[in-house]
Amino acid sequence: MSKKMLGNIMKQAQMMQDKMAKIQEEAALKQVTATAGGGMVTVTANGKMEILSMKIEKEVVDPSDIDMLQDLIVAATNEALKKAQDMMSDEMGKVTSGLGLPGMGGLGGLGNLF
């Protein structure tokens, strides 16, 4: 492999790394929301997989059925985190598409290195 080709590959890799870092920085600003129990529990998360808020409707709070409330909280939280993860996968896919790396949407000629 020539030095020029290696230099181009390194330049492409650095550009991709910079784009991915920018996406991760922007992730904190993007939010997703999920609900459980017909909207009785609502959870909001960001692209950094952080839970930002949770809203629980008064009607679902039944001291004799705490297990149901816990299940709804877990379900809404898991769904919010899944949505956040899917959002980040979509964003990362935009960066890696067309680049040719197996399993990463393609990294052009870089895929041949791995």
Question: For 29-85, which CATH class?
Answer: alpha beta
The span from the CA of 23 to the CA of 38, in Å, is 32
| pTM attached to this predicted model | 0.71
| N-terminal to C-terminal alpha carbon distance within the chain | 14
CA separation for the pair 36, 74 (Å, rounded): 9
Cα-based distances in Å from 103 to 23, 50, 107: 19, 26, 10
Name the amino acid, one letter, at 44: T
Instruction: List per-residue pLDDT tens for the chain, 114 residues long.
Output: 788 888 888 888 888 888 888 888 888 789 999 999 999 999 999 999 999 999 999 999 999 999 999 999 999 999 999 999 999 888 878 777 756 555 544 444 444 443
